[in-house]
Amino acid sequence: MDDGRGCGRAVSSAAVSAAFFDLDKTVIAKSSTLAFGKPFYKGGLVNRRAVLKSSFAQFVYLLQGADEDTMEKLRDYLAVLCAGWSVAQVREIVAETLHELIEPLVYDEALDLFEEHRAAGREVVIVSSSGEEVVGPIGEMLGVDRVIATRMVVADGKYTGDVAFYAYGENKAAAMKELAAQQGWDLAECWAYSDSATDAPMLEVVGHPVAVNPDRALRKEATERGWPVKVFTRPVRPRRGLPTPPGPDEAWLAGLVVGVAAAVVWTALRRSRRV
């Protein structure tokens, strides 16, 4: 589960509740993890074929997202594929490319919501199935209070291929409950935002669920349950002066496997579903 890591700014112990945000297509306009295909190609971690698949995977993701079956298969493929990668090399690549790749994707509307919730005395928490090594620095860049993200096991400076915690589906809801219990938040007074029906558990666990840029399944569920629906359309560079994040430590980098290798396996997963 999440270790309660604060990031981005001083976390106030007086916060009365929290607003939980999914990351991809909720706070930023694309997949945070698929965006790193080219930098990892330049760093020698993936080949040219993987980069081409990354571009295609990003297009598919924007059109239809990922269902539960795809996400579960993705986790297993990625763990095997990236075992043995150097944490130090990953750290360097992420630090060098984060601002260039992610800043232009941030939704202006999401930044407005961050400010509204902080003004109401709530902490802002990003909850993402992407790796901590990506989600942590993004949280620093945006000044959020905490992140909940996927973690991989690291030994001797390299990824072992084992998943320590997969921040997906029911696991997201469980991590949110744990964090709320630690901080003394009443989840009935908390908010949650996501674009995908696979995040229904994280939306159900709070008193104020909101569908953002929802996929077809989530839009249907939101209509049936009377959940508000928001459409974000303005991805822009953050308007505010944001601190440059420090180089992510080994703990944040531990989940990189889950994100980066998505580019490599996405097409294969779609093909397997048609067989």
CB 171 within 8 A of CB 153: no
- What are 20's strand-pairing partners? 125, 192
Q: Pick the catalytic residue: 22, 145, 195, 199?
A: 22
- Tell me if residue 24 is catalytic: yes
- Tell me if residue 67 is catalytic: no
User: DSSP readout, 67-91?
Assistant: -HHHHHHHHHHHHHHTTT-BHHHHH
Which run of H or E residues covers position 172? helix 170-183
Of residues 207, 238, 254, the one with CA closest to residue 8: 238
Token reading at 83? 């075992």
Q: Pick the catalytic residue: 2, 24, 195, 215?
A: 24
- What are 6's strand-pairing partners? 146
Q: How many of the other CB atoms lie within 10 Å of CB of 84?
A: 9
How far apart (Å, rounded) are the C-alpha atoms in residues 21 and 9?
A: 17
Catalytic residues: 22, 24
